[in-house]
Chains A and B, each alone.
Chain A
Amino acid sequence: MDCEKARDQFSSLFEGELNPLEEEMVRGHLSSCEECKKEWERFGQMSRWLHSVDEVEVPEGFLPEIYKKMEERKKKPFWKVFQFPLMKIPVQAMAMVVIVFLALYLTKMMPVEMLQKKVVERKEVPYSEVEKKEKERVSKEMRGEKAIAQSPLETYPMKYKAESKPSVQDEKKIPSHALSPKTEVATVESTRPKEMVKAEPPLLKEKKMEKEWVEKDKASLAARPPQELTLKTSDREKTLIQIQELIKKFGGEVLKEEGNTLLASLPVFTYSEFEKGLIEMSSFTKADKIMSQKDVKEGFGLPAGARRREAEEKVKKPVRSTIEKEDHMTIRIILIQE
Chain B
Amino acid sequence: METSPKIRKEVIKSCKAGDKGAFSEIILCYQKRVFNIAYRMLGNMEEAKDLAQEVFLSVFESIKDLREDDKFEPWLTQVTLNHCRNHWKYLKRRQYFNSDSLDDPIETEDGEVAKSVYHPFDNPETLYEKKMIQQLIQKGLLKLKEEQRELIVLRDLQGFSYAEIGELFFLPEGTIKSKLHRARMDLKKILEKAIH
A63 CB, nearest partner CB in chain B, Å: 6
- A10 / chain B contacts, CB cutoff of 8 Å: 181, 184-185
Interface: B9 (CB within 8 A)? no
A70 (CB) vs chain B CBs: closest residue:
B57
B183 (CB) vs chain A CBs: closest residue:
A11
Residue of A7, A49, A70 ringed by the most chain B CB atoms within 10 A: A49
Interface: A59 (CB within 8 A)? yes
Interface-lining segment among B30-38, B62-70, B104-112 = B30-38
Known contacts A43-B185, A47-B156; A56/B56 CB under 8 A: no
CB neighbors of A among B115-153 (8 A)? 121, 124, 130, 133-134, 137, 152
Interface: B102 (CB within 8 A)? no
- B191 / chain A contacts, CB cutoff of 8 Å: 46
- B181 / chain A contacts, CB cutoff of 8 Å: 8, 10-12
Q: Which A residues are within 8 Å of any B CB, using their own CB?
A: 7-8, 10-12, 17, 42-43, 45-47, 49-59, 62-63, 65-67, 69-70, 73
Please tell me if the beta carbons of B188 and A42 are within 8 angstroms of each other in the complex: yes
Please tell me if the beta carbons of A56 and B45 are within 8 angstroms of each other in the complex: yes
Please tell me if the beta carbons of B45 and A59 are within 8 angstroms of each other in the complex: yes
- B20 / chain A contacts, CB cutoff of 8 Å: 67
Please tell me if the beta carbons of A63 and B27 are within 8 angstroms of each other in the complex: yes
Interface: B1 (CB within 8 A)? yes
Please tell me if the beta carbons of A52 and B53 are within 8 angstroms of each other in the complex: no
* A46 CA to B186 CA, complexed, in Å: 11
* Chain B interface residue count, Cβ-Cβ cutoff 8 angstroms: 37
**Could you write out 9 A-B pairs with CB less than 8 Å apart?**
A43-B184, A47-B184, A49-B133, A50-B184, A54-B134, A56-B36, A58-B35, A65-B49, A67-B20
Known contacts A62-B49, A63-B28; A52/B130 CB under 8 A: yes
- B185 / chain A contacts, CB cutoff of 8 Å: 7, 10, 43
Please tell me if the beta carbons of B124 and A45 are within 8 angstroms of each other in the complex: yes
A10 CB, nearest partner CB in chain B, Å: 7
Please tell me if the beta carbons of B1 and A51 are within 8 angstroms of each other in the complex: yes
- B180 / chain A contacts, CB cutoff of 8 Å: 11
Known contacts A69-B57, A73-B57; A63/B31 CB under 8 A: yes
Please tell me if the beta carbons of B36 and A51 are within 8 angstroms of each other in the complex: no
B112 CB, nearest partner CB in chain A, Å: 20
A7 CB, nearest partner CB in chain B, Å: 8
5 interchain residue pairs of minimum CB distance: A11-B181, A50-B156, A58-B35, A55-B36, A66-B53
Q: Which B residues are within 8 Å of any A CB, using their own CB?
A: 1-2, 20, 24, 27-28, 31-32, 35-36, 39, 45, 48-49, 52-53, 56-57, 60, 121, 124, 130, 133-134, 137, 152, 156-157, 177, 180-181, 184-185, 187-188, 191-192
Known contacts A70-B60, A73-B57; A58/B32 CB under 8 A: yes
Known contacts A47-B184, A62-B35; can you find 4 more A-B pairs with CB under 8 A?
A: A42-B121, A49-B134, A56-B36, A73-B57
- B124 / chain A contacts, CB cutoff of 8 Å: 45, 49
- B184 / chain A contacts, CB cutoff of 8 Å: 10-11, 43, 46-47, 50
Q: Of B35, B157, B192, which is within 8 A of A50 by CB?
A: B157
Residue of B27, B53, B57 ringed by the most chain A CB atoms within 10 A: B53
Please tell me if the beta carbons of A42 and B192 are within 8 angstroms of each other in the complex: yes
- B57 / chain A contacts, CB cutoff of 8 Å: 66, 69-70, 73
* A65 CA to B156 CA, complexed, in Å: 30
Q: Of A12, A43, A55, A69, which is within 8 A of B188 by CB?
A: A43
* A56 CA to B156 CA, complexed, in Å: 15
Please tell me if the beta carbons of B32 and A55 are within 8 angstroms of each other in the complex: yes
- A50 / chain B contacts, CB cutoff of 8 Å: 137, 152, 156-157, 184, 187
* A17 CA to B121 CA, complexed, in Å: 25
A131 CB, nearest partner CB in chain B, Å: 70
* A17 CA to B177 CA, complexed, in Å: 11
A63 (CB) vs chain B CBs: closest residue:
B27
Residue of A12, A45, A54, A66 ringed by the most chain B CB atoms within 10 A: A66
B140 (CB) vs chain A CBs: closest residue:
A46
* A57 CA to B2 CA, complexed, in Å: 12
Known contacts A50-B137, A59-B49; A12/B177 CB under 8 A: yes
Known contacts A10-B181, A43-B188, A56-B35; A65/B53 CB under 8 A: yes
A57 (CB) vs chain B CBs: closest residue:
B32
Known contacts A55-B1, A62-B53; A46/B45 CB under 8 A: no
